[in-house]
Chains A and B, each alone.
Chain A
Amino acid sequence: MGVSAADSLLAVMSFNAAYARVIDDDDLERWPDFFTADAQYRITHVENVRDGLAAGMVYADSRDMLIDRISALREANVYERQRYRHVIGMPSVDLLEPGVLRSHAPFLIIRIMHTGEMTVFASGAYHDEFVQDEGSDLKLRKREVVCDSTSTDTLMAIPL
């Protein structure tokens, strides 16, 4: 990457802050832009990962699938009005290979229902691989969202 460890850390933190804001502000159409065209995005939980089981809650291997998920949420899926508040912690960042940053960042997601009910919906960690696009912005080529709990309350509509 040719940048210092501190620069990498700041870049990933700034990326995660923007990512959280897009989801929490219901600006979901912009969410796929954080990924490369051939990105993998998974949501699973610790036991599936521990047992080497590939299936989770969400399994996408292209940015188009993320676009499709948002279109489906907007046009087809029916769910109670709700939003998230992401709190993404300090990532650990290292260089996986030239041009690829690997990062682990813990997260906490509060779900706020239209009724005012507020719950800890998910906690876990993002297991990420970042690359730089032409404009030298970071893009995710892989984000594996590993939830700490094996159980989901009612439904998971909005991405984590």
Chain B
Amino acid sequence: MTDTAVISFAGSVCSDESRGPYPVPPVDWPRSDYSRVPYWLYHDDRIYHAEQERIFRGPTWNYVGLEAELPQAGDYFTSFIGDTPVIVSRDPGGQLQVVVNRCAHRGAIVRREARGNAETHTCIYHRWCYGHDGRLVGLPFLRGVKGKGGGMGPDFEKAQHGLRRLQIATYAGVIFASFSETAESLADYLGPVFLGHLDRLFQRPVRVLGYQRQRIAGNWKQYLENQRDTYHGSLLHEFQSTFGISRVTQEGGVTMDAHHRHNLTWAKTATDDEGDFTELYKKDRVHDSSLRLQDPALIQFHREWDDGISLAICGIFPNLTVHQISNSLATRQIRTTGPGEFELYWTLFGYTDDTPEMTDHRLLQANMVGPAGLISMEDGEAIEIVYRAICGDRQANQVIQMGGTGPITDLRHRVTDMPVRGFWAYWAQIMGVEPEGAVR
């Protein structure tokens, strides 16, 4: 057995590419600008496993939670990076720690609770006990039984058998972790636009209002596409356009980072003309809803930021969406469980200095999001009906060209799915399967 196969406290496990167990199959891209994407990329097992290795366990920063969830020393919660279980904690000394939640002995899940407070983490199987930093602090029968022998033998060193400890970086109270010691800094990874947006949403200390989990029978990349396809919003989610929460006639746009891997979709409510909206959506026979609300408190927007932005859907590659929909705020973490299933883990939050009225208003507006959300309930379904129809196909492609083909750019409108092409450009890059003459 070589050193690279040993999970050590010192970290650095990943084997080099030639020995990596999951080679990426070649991809025959129909177009170099990603305006056509083969369906098999969503349901292929080899792609899924290679993504875990190259993306989730690769040189990326993955969202794992909020510092507000770990107020006390010893607090921990369990989370996932892709499909790898992790423990996120504040150690007894107050330092944040992220370790792989898999015993270094036989590979069992160590911490099975959703959250709690503890000095150490102990595996139930053979009682190996770890510190928050993953260090193996003790195990039963290390030296055997007196007079009878046994034990791990003289060459066993505890320091070589810890939980895999990951790199951590936080920004504005948002915790990210990386398996890679060579990943760029979090600040470079996010870039100025997304640092600025996190500043905007997390400028005041936050308080978690509740959690939701939603299982979706589709491929995780479809959700990233869904978040970056900004023009589906007012078509699929009729509630949203009817009540002016999001319409393409409003002032808005899409902004990406230099690599086009992250995307911010934004809009300002009440910046369009009701007549223009009605004309456009009626002309294209999209909808002509007679829906009226008996209790309109749900859709009122209390302006909290000077910029007037009332809708901001921020997708940070690979596993995070942070939304502001009116006064509803939440992070959505993607946890993959296979090529055809993932879970969305919603963390609804407000600010610690919110008035009781504002907290109540955020709780009301939470009705718009999540699995029972008046706006967002359709996303899970849209993804599932696509996955069901494509999951056996190895030939056909999907079409991504609203907003045009060719170069990928930011836009001051939202009649576009260009950020979806931006996502694929970065995906192809990190997976090492870019076509000749690829746009980036």
Contacts and interface: CB of A to CB of B under 8 A. Distances in A.
B114 A157 contact: no
Nearest to A55: B210
A55 B216 contact: no
B324 interface: no
Contacts, number: 123
B381 interface: yes
Nearest to A78: B378
Interface of A: 43-44, 47-48, 51, 53-62, 64-65, 67-69, 71-72, 75-80, 150-157
Contacts of A56: 210, 212, 366
A53 B372 contact: no
A151 B291 contact: no
Contacts of A48: 210-211
Contact of B242 (A76, A78, A79): A76
Contacts of B213: 150-152
Nearest to A156: B372
Interface in B334-393: 343, 348, 359-360, 362-364, 366-367, 370-372, 374, 377-378, 380-381, 384-385
B210 A152 contact: no
Name B's interface SS.
mixed
Contact of A151 (B208, B215, B348): B215
B186 interface: no
Contact of B377 (A54, A67, A156): A156
A120 to B, nearest CB: 13
Contacts of B385: 80
A79 B378 contact: yes
B209 interface: yes
A51 to B, nearest CB: 8
Contacts of A54: 209-210, 359, 363
Given A53-B211, A79-B381, A157-B372, 10 more contacts: A48-B210, A55-B212, A67-B294, A71-B292, A72-B239, A76-B237, A77-B377, A78-B378, A79-B377, A154-B371
A61 B239 CA distance: 20
Nearest to A48: B210
